[in-house]
């Protein structure tokens, strides 16, 4: 009687051990066992562009497309940096995670990196298609910008989007709002959330 119980217990321990050694690390780095990946999409984050009409007239002389970067725990990742008057004015980071759960992790991570002493600003538009969202203005942490910036961090399904616009004056807030509205329409249509 004791031997069958020990055998069952041994099989359970071995199964747990194999799961911890093989499956759990694969999930933690963002690969997709057991078919739990995000769905296939008809676009990549690198297909996204930002028309020059979004930016102040005469400051930017070309369309901006997401630049390719990589990370072991994302399917796709890229960024756009736009500068004028001698320094960075806008920074946009897009990433697509293999699962929504992994995107939630990245949302929290981006949120902690963006701004020190963030304060809410009622003038900032909200990304309406977002599953998780936060925005505000304050001092940027890791970006060489002026003393203040307005940021948005959002998760839309398996995508995480971070937008930082230099300054918190009326012109900067208007630019921030144009970018948020554009992302809302562009990504919303690409994902079939809005028509």
Residues 6+ away with beta carbon under 8 Å from 175: 54, 55, 56, 89, 90, 165
Residue 180: in which H helix or E strand, if any?
helix 170-190
pLDDT tens figures, 17-71: 655 555 554 545 455 655 467 788 888 888 888 888 898 887 776 777 777 776 6
pLDDT tens figures, 161-190: 999 898 888 998 999 999 999 999 999 999
Nearest to 93 by CA among 114, 124, 122, 73: 114
pTM exceeds cut of 0.75: yes
Name the pLDDT band for 16 (thresholds 50, 70, 90): low
């Amino acid at each position: 009687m004791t031997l069958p119980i020990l055998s069952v217990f041994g099989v359970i321990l071995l199964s747990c051990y194999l799961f911890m050694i093989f499956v759990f690390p694969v999930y933690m780095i963002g690969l997709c066992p057991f078919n739990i990946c995000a769905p296939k999409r008809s676009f990549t984050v690198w297909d996204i562009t930002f028309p020059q009409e979004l930016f102040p007239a005469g400051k930017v002389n070309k369309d901006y497309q997401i630049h390719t970067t990589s990370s072991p725990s994302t399917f796709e990742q890229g960024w756009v940096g736009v500068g004028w008057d001698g320094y960075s004015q806008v920074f946009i980071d897009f990433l697509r995670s293999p699962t929504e759960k992994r995107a939630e992790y990245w949302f929290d991570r981006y949120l902690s990196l963006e701004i020190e002493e963030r304060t809410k600003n009622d003038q900032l538009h909200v990304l309406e298609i977002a599953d998780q969202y936060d925005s505000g203005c304050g001092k940027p942490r890791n970006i060489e910008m002026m003393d203040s910036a307005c940021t948005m961090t959002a998760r839309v399904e398996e995508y995480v989007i971070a937008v930082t616009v230099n300054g918190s004056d009326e012109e900067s807030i208007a630019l921030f709002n144009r970018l948020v509205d554009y992302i809302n329409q562009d990504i919303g249509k690409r994902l079939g959330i809005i028509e």
